[in-house]
Structure 1
Amino acid sequence: MHAFRSHSCAELNKSNVGETVRLSGWVHRIRDHGGILFVDLRDHYGITQVLCDPDSPVFAEMEKVRSEWCIRIDGNVKARDPELVNDKIPTGEVEVFVRDLEVLGAADELPLLVFGDQEYPEETRLKYRFLDLRREQMQQNMTMRSDVVTSMRKRMWDKGFREYQTPIITASSPEGARDFLVPSRLHPGKFYALPQAPQQFKQLMMVAGFDKYFQIAPCFRDEDPRADRSPTDFYQLDMEMSFVEQQDVFDTIAPVLAGVFEEFGGGRKVDAPNEWPQIPYAEAALKYGSDKPDLRNPIEMQVVSEHFAGSGFAIFAKLLEQEGTEVRAIPAPTGGSRKFCDRMNKFAQQEGLPGMGYIFWRKQSADTIAQEQGISVKEVNAKIKAGEIVLGEEAAGPLAKNIGPERTEAIRQQLGLGVGDAAFFLGGKPKAFEPVAGRARNVIGEELGLTDKNRFAFAWIVDFPIYEADEETGKVDFEHNPFSMPQGGLDALNGDPLAVKGYQYDLACNGYELVSGAIRNHKPEIMLKAFEIAGYDETEVKSRFGALYKAFSYGAPPHGGCAAGVDRIVMLLADQQNIREVMLFPMNQRAEDLMMNAPSEPATDQLMELSLRVIEQD
């Protein structure tokens, strides 16, 4: 017999009754029923119930065993009584009577329990991650992650791609985040960098003629942490193709991702890739307040500035006199109650705004009609009863009183709302209020039950602007990927830079950015002009991106690609809200590894060897 096990803890069933078996694993739970010890023994694959009574030669030893001890047992497989069968686990029809026991690893008192669903502070979970990972949910998450990566690889190979590995130690390159720098021992005073992405290498591979590349690539960025982003490192499905246009990239990667979501999405609906909408960036910002809209939520914002210009609502009326301002409405079907409107107003205040204007529509009251017609409420009720008056809808809320019935009716008609509905309003320069408007849209959809939870809703966001201007200085810089091909090529760069759009795209799903990519700028003259507009002269471009510039001068093919965030995809599939739930050994919110004590102070001899010294900060 094998030294540690003849079966895993998920294999035994009725067909094994009568056999002598050997199992190894962790003590998941111990129950003492009148002198009979029942132990749930767990390994990576499942759980088997083993039992030990005073007739067992190792009963005294088994009494010493505690939760999370690692043990080996030998025993006889017995059928459970019919009334004791556990249908929830594969081994639920049998149990093993223990004849021999070996303690492989005793456990100290546990800082967190593996059994059960107890909640622990994240700091505790990350410090003792090796214990946290034993928990059932974490085992499932990591298994899913492994399976998702395997599925991605297979699907990419089936598409005719080959996997290649690009360097981990490279040169510093501006990719939109801070680099992790690595000091060179052999070249004092100089630094390597961990790659933010394989961007330049994969483009160089296209110039080298490899045509179709992919990689499950580690990427390193010194970023501020968020719930959906690691502050240090992450993995992405990275791909690049030669001789392609934007639609070719979509047609390649979309079926791969759709297949993964269908395979691991637990039956949730996945639209066919050819049905994924392509939404221009400007339209996404206007309708959804985000370049990663959650399309499970049907709410679309609209511009309603004309209804407030010159109105009795002075705040918006004066605001609209300023250049570049507008007022947008967020429709809220079924949200027509003062209680809900007040709740959303409080949300806006928590977001740092003074509040959020609203109008809600309700059935007319007899009081309102009485005031309008100058008669008593009693007379109104009599006329309603006689059918002489039919109650319509009326607009309520402070905004409605300020702008009057004609304007509120025009707003209602534009938004397609009716009795029982509401609308919320934000004004100013769009870039300033869009993020709050987008979050408000999401909250409204959630609170009113409008968001379809049983669906993965994908959308390509296209036509990203290449440049943006600093509001204070007016300086033009890249807004997005500097390596994107401008739509219209070199000619487009001779006009207004803020009007230039790139062949750049993101794939959004359920409010998260899953994919980012572009058709690349592969012509040296366009590359120089694009960087010149952003303030980089030819010398600096050749210094920073010398390899790309040279490569583009030696017959570069048109090429494009994208990268899909593996961690974020698994987070969605596992129905988790925090990306650390699907990463084996993540950092905490302060970019610290509490388990390995990183970052740590280097030893003096290490610094000397690297010709470095640490300067104390004030």
Structure 2
Amino acid sequence: MHRYRSHTCAELTRAHVGQTVRLAGWVHRVRDHGGVLFIDLRDHYGITQILADADSPVFGEVEKVRAEWCIRIDGEVKARDDELINPKIPTGEIEVYIRDIEVLGPAAELPLQVFGDHEYPEETRLRYRYLDLRREGLKRNILLRSNVIRDLRERMWQAGFTEYQTPIITASSPEGARDFLVPSRLHRGKFYALPQAPQQFKQLIMVAGYDRYFQIAPCFRDEDPRADRSPTDFYQLDMEMSFVTQEDVFAAIQPVLQASFERFGGGRKVDSAWPRIRYADAMKWYGTDKPDLRCPIKMADVSEHFRGSGFAIFARLLEQEGTEIRAIPAQGGGSRAFCDRMNAFAQKEGLPGMGYIFWREKDGELEAAGPIARNIGPERTEAIRRQLGLGKGDAAFFLGGKPEAFERVAAKARVEIGRELGHFEEDRFAFAWIVDFPMYEKDPETGKIDFSHNPFSMPQGGLEALEGDPLEVIGQQYDLACNGYELVSGAIRNHDREIMFRAFEIAGYTREEVERRFPGLAAAFRYGPPPHGGCAVGIDRMVMLLADEINIREVIMFPMNQRAEDLMMGAPSEPTNEQLRELGIRIIREED
């Protein structure tokens, strides 16, 4: 018999009754039934009930074991009585009577319980992640992640893509976030960088003639943490194709993602029609470039109805440049109580509130009610109602000012209103391609022009488009939104040296600086670069959606905490003086 086990804790059935077997695993829980000890023994594969009574030759040893001890037992497989069968587990028809036991690894007092659904502070869970990973819910998420990655990889191969690996140590590159720098021992004073993405390498792969590349790629960005983003590293399904248009990229990735969501989505509806929404329209209708289309509500610009109106707050706002009034229609929201509740929601999110109008029947006629309706009069309220397609029992909520100041809250309010009024389809994965992103943006404080998206994207219209107002330039860039999250980001790449130099020049980079910062790409584009494009799928975020989690750390095996610390391994840590001397680095401490 094998040193540790003859079977796993998920294998034994009635067919094994009467056999002597050897099992190894962890003590999931112990139950004392008056002289008979029942133990749920757990391994990676499942649970088997084992027991010992006073007649067992090792009963005294069995009495000593505690939760999460790692043990090996020998015993005889017995059939459970019919009334004691547990149909919830594969081994529910049998139990194993213990004849011998060996403690392989005793456990100290546990800082968190593995059995049960106890809630623990995240700090405790991350510090003792190896125990947390034994718990059923987190284990289920991690196995889901593994299966999703395997599924994606197989589907990409089936679609004619080939997997290549790109370097982990490389040069710094402006990808929209801060680099993690790695000091060089051999070249003192110089630094490598961990790649924010395989962006340049996958473009060079296309230049080299290796069409249809993909990779399950680790990426590293020194970012501020969010619930849906890791502050240090993440994984993405990275892909690139030569001689393609935007439509070709969409046609390649949609079947892969749709099939994977259908397989692992737990029976939830997966949209097969993925609409194309211009970035400008997404911001106007939904207040975000990653709209949650499970809520069908669209916002509308109603500024003209408030210009010169009696509602002074909005009328004065509209006298300022770049301001507008946006309405969120709310079918079925026509009660003062609901309107007050949504107004309080906006205040909780940091706005002064949301104005509203609701329509009710009075004396057999439709009446607009609320402070705004009283101030702007029946003619304007009727025009608003008609524009929004509302009627009796409905409401509209209003936000005003510069869009960038209220869109974040408007986007949340739109979804909250939809949920409250039953216009929200929970069990659904709703996708939308967001297209036609602006190539550049202006810093409101400095006035500096910078890239708003991927700097290696081809501008629509090529070189000619770069000769006008930079803020009017539209890139061949696209994102895929799913249920309020950005799931995919990509672009048709800029493969023309002169267009690339001009695009970077607008953002403040000289030709010499581009060649210095991107020597590989700048040189490679001199030697027959093909048109190419691709995208990357955020795997952590995809699994988070499939697992129905709202925190990305619930689908990562060993995540950092909110402060980008690894509490379990003690990272980041201080280097030794010897390490610093070897690297030629001196640390300047911040003054307290």
> TM-score, normalised on structure 2?
0.98
1:280 corresponds in structure 2 to: 278
Name the CA distance, whole Å, in 1 between partners of 2:29 and 2:369.
59
Name the CA distance, whole Å, in 2 between partners of 1:394 and 1:132.
58
Q: Which structure 2 residues correspond to residues 331-370 of structure 1 after superposition, within 5 A? A: 331-364=329-362, 369=363
- Say which of 568, 579, 591 aligns to 1:606: 579
Once the two structures are TM-superposed, the CA of residue 475 in structure 1 deviates from its matched residue by 2.5
1:65 aligns with 2:38: no
Q: Provide, for residues 291-324 of structure 1, a one-character-per-residue CA deviation record: whole Å limited to 9, x for no partner.
A: 0000011110001111111111000011112222
Please state whether the residue corresponding to 1:592 is helix, strand or coil. coil
Please state whether the residue corresponding to 1:64 is helix, strand or coil. coil
Once the two structures are TM-superposed, the CA of residue 34 in structure 1 deviates from its matched residue by 1.3
1:132 aligns with 2:132: yes
Amino acid corresponding to residue 477 of structure 1 in structure 2: D
2:246 corresponds in structure 1 to: 246
- Say which of 313, 319, 322 aligns to 2:320: 322
Name the CA distance, whole Å, in 2 between partners of 1:169 and 1:470.
31
Please state whether the residue corresponding to 2:337 is helix, strand or coil. helix
Name the CA distance, whole Å, in 1 between partners of 2:515 and 2:261.
42
* Mapped contact 1:178–1:221 kept (Cα < 8 A): yes
1:424 aligns with 2:422: no
Name the CA distance, whole Å, in 2 between partners of 1:563 and 1:456.
19
2:236 corresponds in structure 1 to: 236
Q: Provide, for residues 216-261 of structure 1, a one-character-per-residue CA deviation record: whole Å limited to 9, x for no partner.
A: 0000000000000000000000001111010000000111011110
1:218 corresponds in structure 2 to: 218
2:305 corresponds in structure 1 to: 307
2:166 corresponds in structure 1 to: 166
1:412 aligns with 2:385: yes
1:508 aligns with 2:481: yes
Instruction: Kindly report the root-mean-square deviation, in angstroms, between the aligned alpha carbons of the 2 structures.
Output: 1.0
Once the two structures are TM-superposed, the CA of residue 336 in structure 1 deviates from its matched residue by 1.9
2:551 corresponds in structure 1 to: 578
Please state whether the residue corresponding to 1:283 is helix, strand or coil. helix
- Mean Cα displacement is larger for which, 56-65 or 323-332? 323-332
Name the CA distance, whole Å, in 2 between partners of 1:582 and 1:144.
9
Amino acid corresponding to residue 349 of structure 2 in structure 1: E
1:93 corresponds in structure 2 to: 93
Q: Which structure 2 residues correspond to residues 119-198 of structure 1 after superposition, within 5 A? A: 119-198=119-198
1:469 corresponds in structure 2 to: 442
Once the two structures are TM-superposed, the CA of residue 264 in structure 1 deviates from its matched residue by 0.3
Name the CA distance, whole Å, in 1 between partners of 2:555 and 2:146.
10
2:433 corresponds in structure 1 to: 460
Once the two structures are TM-superposed, the CA of residue 158 in structure 1 deviates from its matched residue by 0.4
- Say which of 454, 468, 474 aligns to 1:481: 454
Name the CA distance, whole Å, in 2 between partners of 1:450 and 1:126.
38
Once the two structures are TM-superposed, the CA of residue 427 in structure 1 deviates from its matched residue by 0.8
Once the two structures are TM-superposed, the CA of residue 328 in structure 1 deviates from its matched residue by 0.5
Q: Which structure 2 residues correspond to residues 45-56 of structure 1 after superposition, within 5 A? A: 45-56=45-56
* Mapped contact 1:44–1:139 kept (Cα < 8 A): no
* Mapped contact 1:178–1:222 kept (Cα < 8 A): yes
- Say which of 526, 538, 543 aligns to 1:565: 538
1:3 aligns with 2:3: yes
Please state whether the residue corresponding to 2:41 is helix, strand or coil. strand
Name the CA distance, whole Å, in 2 between partners of 1:118 and 1:480.
42
Once the two structures are TM-superposed, the CA of residue 288 in structure 1 deviates from its matched residue by 0.5
Q: Provide, for residues 436-464 of structure 1, a one-character-per-residue CA deviation record: whole Å limited to 9, x for no partner.
A: 11111122222223211111001000000
Amino acid corresponding to residue 605 of structure 1 in structure 2: E
Once the two structures are TM-superposed, the CA of residue 535 in structure 1 deviates from its matched residue by 1.5
Amino acid corresponding to residue 294 of structure 1 in structure 2: D
- Mean Cα displacement is larger for which, 584-593 or 338-347? 338-347
Name the CA distance, whole Å, in 2 between partners of 1:343 and 1:446.
13
Amino acid corresponding to residue 569 of structure 2 in structure 1: M
- Say which of 569, 573, 577 aligns to 1:596: 569
- Say which of 476, 494, 499 aligns to 1:526: 499
Name the CA distance, whole Å, in 2 between partners of 1:187 and 1:546.
18
Once the two structures are TM-superposed, the CA of residue 351 in structure 1 deviates from its matched residue by 2.0
- Mean Cα displacement is larger for which, 328-337 or 249-258? 328-337
Once the two structures are TM-superposed, the CA of residue 355 in structure 1 deviates from its matched residue by 1.1
Q: Provide, for residues 92-135 of structure 1, a one-character-per-residue CA deviation record: whole Å limited to 9, x for no partner.
A: 11111111111111000000000000000000000000000000
1:258 corresponds in structure 2 to: 258
Name the CA distance, whole Å, in 1 between partners of 2:166 and 2:50.
49
1:294 corresponds in structure 2 to: 292
Amino acid corresponding to residue 572 of structure 1 in structure 2: L
Amino acid corresponding to residue 297 of structure 1 in structure 2: C
Q: State which structure, 1 or 2, has the greater radius of gyration over its C-alpha atoms.
A: 1
Name the CA distance, whole Å, in 2 between partners of 1:279 and 1:185.
49
Once the two structures are TM-superposed, the CA of residue 606 in structure 1 deviates from its matched residue by 0.6
Once the two structures are TM-superposed, the CA of residue 337 in structure 1 deviates from its matched residue by 2.0
Amino acid corresponding to residue 123 of structure 2 in structure 1: E
Name the CA distance, whole Å, in 1 between partners of 2:387 and 2:537.
38
Q: Provide, for residues 387-409 of structure 1, a one-character-per-residue CA deviation record: whole Å limited to 9, x for no partner.
A: xxxx2332222111111222222
Once the two structures are TM-superposed, the CA of residue 477 in structure 1 deviates from its matched residue by 1.5
Q: Provide, for residues 38-77 of structure 1, a one-character-per-residue CA deviation record: whole Å limited to 9, x for no partner.
A: 1111111111111111011111001000001011111111
Amino acid corresponding to residue 113 of structure 1 in structure 2: Q
Name the CA distance, whole Å, in 1 between partners of 2:97 and 2:249.
59
Once the two structures are TM-superposed, the CA of residue 431 in structure 1 deviates from its matched residue by 2.1
Amino acid corresponding to residue 207 of structure 1 in structure 2: V
Amino acid corresponding to residue 280 of structure 1 in structure 2: R
Amino acid corresponding to residue 278 of structure 2 in structure 1: P
- Mean Cα displacement is larger for which, 3-12 or 339-348? 339-348
- Say which of 366, 373, 382 aligns to 1:393: 366
Q: Which structure 2 residues correspond to residues 69-80 of structure 1 after superposition, within 5 A? A: 69-80=69-80
What 5-or-longer segments of structure 2 have no aligned partner?
Answer: none
Name the CA distance, whole Å, in 2 between partners of 1:281 and 1:325.
19
Once the two structures are TM-superposed, the CA of residue 473 in structure 1 deviates from its matched residue by 3.7
1:542 corresponds in structure 2 to: 515
Please state whether the residue corresponding to 1:482 is helix, strand or coil. coil
- Mean Cα displacement is larger for which, 353-362 or 291-300? 353-362
Please state whether the residue corresponding to 1:171 is helix, strand or coil. coil
Name the CA distance, whole Å, in 2 between partners of 1:40 and 1:339.
52
* Mapped contact 1:144–1:570 kept (Cα < 8 A): yes
Name the CA distance, whole Å, in 2 between partners of 1:540 and 1:351.
43
1:555 corresponds in structure 2 to: 528
Amino acid corresponding to residue 236 of structure 1 in structure 2: Q
Aligned pairs, number: 591
Name the CA distance, whole Å, in 1 between partners of 2:412 and 2:78.
57
Q: Which structure 2 residues correspond to residues 17-28 of structure 1 after superposition, within 5 A? A: 17-28=17-28
Name the CA distance, whole Å, in 1 between partners of 2:447 and 2:235.
36
* Mapped contact 1:237–1:565 kept (Cα < 8 A): yes
Q: Provide, for residues 114-162 of structure 1, a one-character-per-residue CA deviation record: whole Å limited to 9, x for no partner.
A: 0000000000000000000000011111111110000010000001111
2:421 corresponds in structure 1 to: 448
Once the two structures are TM-superposed, the CA of residue 211 in structure 1 deviates from its matched residue by 0.9
What 5-or-longer segments of structure 1 have no aligned partner?
Answer: 370-390
Once the two structures are TM-superposed, the CA of residue 363 in structure 1 deviates from its matched residue by 2.7
Name the CA distance, whole Å, in 1 between partners of 2:332 and 2:7.
57
Q: Provide, for residues 254-299 of structure 1, a one-character-per-residue CA deviation record: whole Å limited to 9, x for no partner.
A: 1101111011001111122xx2101000000000001000001111
